[in-house]
Structure 1
Amino acid sequence: MGLRSRYLCALLLVIVTIVGSISSITYFRAHQEVNSVLRILSDNEGEMPARMIPNQPQLFSQPHFTRESLYQYRYFSATLNRQNKRMAIQDDHILSVTPGEIQKLTQRVLKRQRTQGRIFYKQTVYAYRVKNNGGKINVVFLDESLMLTKAREVTYLGIFLGTISLLLYTVVLVLFSNSAIRPIIQAEKRQKEFITNAGHELKTPLSVISANTEMQELLNGENDLTKSTKEQVGRLTKLINYFVSLARLQEQPQMTLSVIDASQITNQVADNFKNVILQDGKHFKKSVTSDLAVRANEHYFYELVSILLDNANKYCDPHGDVFLNLKLGKRKKNVILSVTNSFVDGKNVDYNRFFERFYREDKARTVSKKKSGYGIGLSMAQSIVKSFGGQIKASYSNGKISFIVTIKRQIKNK
């Protein structure tokens, strides 16, 4: 997702939150107003109070009424005795409902045996309230269209203004974002180009140093000085290759992906690393389910498995275990690649930070100075997995650390 898309999504989220909150509060206040008016009418047997309603402290959610303000509402009521024989109907404040219809509505409400609720009649919703007054039953009906219409108008106005704001912001963003973002994009591009160019330039003197060291060994034999020089040349060459690979990976966000045989590639990498791990005095096991396919780049998937196995071998405890596993997820929709190694002293290590570039944790990096890493491999692995649309995480349990990759499964074309 591009930078503009993130800004638009953020603004849309803000607008939806504001409009949704205003609409919810407006509808809540409208229903509170309906209930309050019904309560006032019910307490006065369906009539307006004879005197002005005394001013009382009002909560935020409760509307404030005066005797005059009550005349804006449309309502009617019926008062019956215990045998449901009509005694009186009050319809002075309604024109669309006849006394006969009021009697039918009252009987419908009484059959429900509920003290309050809503009833639909002639495309109008009436809120009602039933109250027992001694030997009488008073039923008050209130047309709530006025209050709900106001709430709907506020909602529509909020949606309209929110849409206009989003469109205006989009226009402004398109017109002015290029000039604002261009320096950042250019700086990032120059940085990547510098890494790539510097990597290529550094390889030449390293090749010369390596050749001179080998010549010196031919003339004078190998010694600690030449051996150390070759080791440092190898380390620096590997570091440069990491830099160049990471820069190239970031330079092509639209990586060419295809359906590849993950099982075959994983087996190939595992076979290449097996002897290296065994020569370091560690135990290696693998479990690879056959014919598992994912949508990825073949070269970078190979690189991903290599990074994880190299990392596991590098930080595995002496004479510890390295285990590689490729299998289907529980629902058989994902392919799970996990690489686990023994790491007894890893209880208090923040494994999530391992994916930060150049991150170094003393407890995790003291296995061997000779094989210490650069803090780039796992960051590169995370970038590769994201390019595949997958996820990678680290977990620690029972003295073992695992790096788990989840990628959506694909069906191979036969």
Structure 2
Amino acid sequence: MVLVTLTGSIVGVSYYRAKQQVNNVLIILLQNNGKINSQINTQNVRKRFGPTFNQESLYQYRYFSVSFNSKGKQVALDNSHIVSVPRETIASLGYQVFKSGQQSGTVQSEVSSYAYKTQKKNGRTTIVFLDQSVIMESTNNIMKIGLILGITSLILFTLILIAISKRVIRPIVLADKRQREFVTNAGHELKTPLSIIKANNELQEMITGQTEWTISNEQQVDRLTKLINNLISLARLEEQQRLNLSVIEASEILEHATNSFKSVVAQENKKLKINISPSLRINAEENSFLELCNVLLDNANKYCDDGGAVSVAWIPDKKLKKVTLMVGNTYAKGKNINYSKFFERFYRNDKSRNSAKKGFGIGLSMAASIVDAFNGKIGVSYQKETIFFRATFKLIR
């Protein structure tokens, strides 16, 4: 972007300045009856060309002029400042411009390209032509050099980046890999002492019976076990470069997941609204898609208002190119929440999501990773006191 901007700026500024120079010379010619001579207003010229103006430089330009009366008859022709264009060609070019009625522009002849400008004064139309090839030639050379240098630099820098990029980002890649491996290995190591603690707690209950402390120990062990399992699942999902995707019957899997949540939702006096279009298939992995459905359903049920409703929809678009899994739950206090952070790992908003709710802020991060692995898109929105999570996939016919 830097190279393109730099090269484009050089080319653009060079072209603009060349056109401005042509325009200024034509204006000066019209102000001096189509001629550049010793009678020219030096002060006026200096305003147009700037303080670096040199009067001698005005005589480098090649130009000619033609005048017509109100009836279109040629009344004057001046070719004293150009030798490469015959009078017949000058007359023809002048008549061509006069008939077109254009005030300014460019005409092409066999010899060169000429910029022109028209002036009407006292019933007489004067057209001055300027050979812009000399001005544009130097500009074109600058533009060509700029483009060549820009393309050469782009190729050179690209080759350098290709050569060193792997070496530069290798520490970051290794650190990320070691972090995921650490989570997986630590998770497996933690499972052993947790199993021992749980077994000892059960043995204590057999000897002394259940107490407030043994019940609390069991709950915390189960909580830690679930957290470790979630972390391991997320780490494994990220370690896999690519899932083995295949065409799956997504509608059937979603129906199975939804049916398993019916009793859970009913026990908490909530309503479950289902709208699943049958026989819709996507390119995914069965177990991971089932995990996605369970995560979204569990999240919706967990944070749904008491006596509220959980909704599940699986509907294709009108063109039958994409299908959207939409899971929502009523949440009256969810108006002023930053939903963009919901997919961040371990994110929990205590103001909007009660900390008494069980969870670790990992589920939605897992859902986002799964959807990304399926080449889909996931998002969240809040409408009419309801939170909606939408996962969109390409529909396979």
Q: TM-score, normalised by structure 2?
A: 0.91
Residue 334 to residue 25, structure 1, CA distance change in 2 (3 Å): farther
Give the Cα separation in 1 of the matches to 2:372 and 2:111.
54
Q: Deviations over 1:367-403 (max 9, x none)?
A: x61x332122212222222222222111111111111
Give the Cα separation in 1 of the matches to 2:284 and 2:84.
69
Deviation at 1:225, TM superposition (A): 2.8
Say if 2:165 is the partner of 1:177.
yes
For 2:386, the equivalent position in structure 1 comes to: 400
Deviation at 1:78, TM superposition (A): 0.5
Q: Deviations over 1:229-256 (max 9, x none)?
A: 2222222122111111111122123333
Deviation at 1:342, TM superposition (A): 0.8
Residue 323 to residue 151, structure 1, CA distance change in 2 (3 Å): farther
Between the two proteins, the alignment pairs up a number of residues equal to 396
Give the Cα separation in 2 of the matches to 1:385 and 1:213.
39
Deviation at 1:29, TM superposition (A): 2.2
- Residue 140 of structure 1 aligns with an amino acid whose one-letter code is V
- Residue 374 of structure 1 aligns with an amino acid whose one-letter code is F
For 2:59, the equivalent position in structure 1 comes to: 71
Say if 2:310 is the partner of 1:322.
yes
Give the Cα separation in 1 of the matches to 2:130 and 2:359.
76
- Residue 349 of structure 1 aligns with an amino acid whose one-letter code is I
Structure 1: which 5+ residue stretches go unaligned?
1-12
Residue aligned with 2:55, SS: coil
Residue 145 to residue 226, structure 1, CA distance change in 2 (3 Å): farther
Give the Cα separation in 1 of the matches to 2:360 and 2:109.
75
Say if 2:357 is the partner of 1:358.
no
For 2:323, the equivalent position in structure 1 comes to: 335
Report if aligned partners of 2:248, 2:285 keep a CA contact under 8 Å in 1: yes
Deviation at 1:286, TM superposition (A): 1.5
Residue 284 to residue 128, structure 1, CA distance change in 2 (3 Å): same
Residue aligned with 1:54, SS: helix
Q: How does 1:44-123 map to 2 (within 5 A)?
A: 44-49=32-37, 50-51=39-40, 53-54=42-43, 65-122=53-110
Residue aligned with 2:161, SS: helix
Q: TM-score, normalised by structure 1?
A: 0.87
Give the Cα separation in 1 of the matches to 2:193 and 2:172.
32
Give the Cα separation in 2 of the matches to 1:321 and 1:58.
76
Say if 2:250 is the partner of 1:258.
no
Q: How does 1:214-225 map to 2 (within 5 A)?
A: 214-225=202-213
Say if 2:112 is the partner of 1:131.
no
Give the Cα separation in 1 of the matches to 2:70 and 2:53.
32
Residue aligned with 1:404, SS: strand
Residue aligned with 1:364, SS: coil
Aligned to 2:377, which of 387, 391, 403?
391
- Residue 404 of structure 1 aligns with an amino acid whose one-letter code is R
Residue aligned with 2:42, SS: coil
187-196 or 77-86: which moved more? 77-86
Give the Cα separation in 1 of the matches to 2:247 and 2:136.
55
Deviation at 1:48, TM superposition (A): 1.0
Report if aligned partners of 2:32, 2:40 keep a CA contact under 8 Å in 1: no
Residue 305 to residue 53, structure 1, CA distance change in 2 (3 Å): farther
Structure 2: which 5+ residue stretches go unaligned?
none
Q: How does 1:201-212 map to 2 (within 5 A)?
A: 201-212=189-200
Give the Cα separation in 2 of the matches to 1:191 and 1:135.
86
Deviation at 1:115, TM superposition (A): 1.4
Q: Deviations over 1:260-304 (max 9, x none)?
A: 222222222212222222222221111112222222232222222
- Residue 4 of structure 2 aligns with an amino acid whose one-letter code is V
Give the Cα separation in 2 of the matches to 1:143 and 1:397.
67
For 1:312, the equivalent position in structure 2 comes to: 300
Say if 2:332 is the partner of 1:344.
yes
Q: Deviations over 1:111-153 (max 9, x none)?
A: 1112122223337432211101213210111233334344433
Report if aligned partners of 2:295, 2:364 keep a CA contact under 8 Å in 1: yes
283-292 or 168-177: which moved more? 168-177
Task: Indicate the RMSD between aligned Cα atoms, in angstroms.
Answer: 2.5
Deviation at 1:258, TM superposition (A): 2.4
Say if 2:2 is the partner of 1:14.
yes
- Residue 390 of structure 2 aligns with an amino acid whose one-letter code is I
